[in-house]
Amino acid sequence: MEKTQTNYQSNKKDSTKNVGDNERLASSVGGGLLAGYGIYRMDLVGAVLAALGGALLYRGATGHSPIYDALDINTADASGASKSSAHHAGRHSNRVEKHISVNRPLHEIFDFWRNFENLPKIMSNLESVTVIDNKRSHWKAKAPLGASVEWDAEIVEEQKNHYIAWRLTEGADVDNSGSVRFDRTQTGGETSITVVIDYTPPAGAVGAAVAYFFGENPEQQLEEDLRKFKETMESGEAKAV
């Protein structure tokens, strides 16, 4: 009877683990760095960062996430993880949509953007883009805490001087798809640009939290990058690219 009770308690304890080994490692490393940086600051913001780091350390040490409990997610169980990911994919995905008008001809804007190897020169967190063929390209971008993510993207729809839609190929470090639309404004002298990006941050909610506290928020980044793009095109610097 005593042996049966011990086994039951052990199984009950294991059932509280809902974070996979890779996520636990990332939580431990990220939590340690965040906690150390927070303590180093010795101010109110530092206290918040240290508390967040402590929460990540706890997550890594115990393998338990209250957020995953609330969303009924379990990445500690490989079979459960795949089912949960499919069922809750919409909850983890984020959408960013930004609009800007640039005082340059539409064809000039489209041609610059369509040559993806130009984009690292206007996007601060994009390290490089290598064009593979007319549809596919390889991208490398900066990630929080000095890491990087790489992926292959493919164009799924294109209308010359009007529209480009893409998605990441299977096996990418991040889940991402999006589109950019180019339109002439009513005055005819400016080009209207609308960018829509759907993405899932690395390491789910943990990646999003760490990215936010380090000021690397995708929505903020896209807005700043589009502003830089506008300045580059309108100043004439793009002609030298």
pLDDT of residue 81: 40
Asked if residues 154 and 136 have their Cβ atoms less than 8 Å apart, the reply is yes
pLDDT of residue 183: 95
Axis-axis angle for helices 21-41, 44-62 (nearest 10): 160
Fold held by 94-240 = Alpha-D-Glucose-1,6-Bisphosphate; Chain A, domain 4 (3.30.530)
- Profile the chain (241 residues) by mean pLDDT over runs of 10 residues: 43 60 71 77 75 78 70 56 41 79 94 94 88 93 72 93 91 75 87 89 55 62 91 78 47
Q: How much is the pTM?
A: 0.59
- The domain segmentation of the chain, as residue ranges, is 2-88, 94-240
pLDDT of residue 88: 41
pLDDT of residue 161: 95
What does the DSSP 8-state code read for residue 224? H
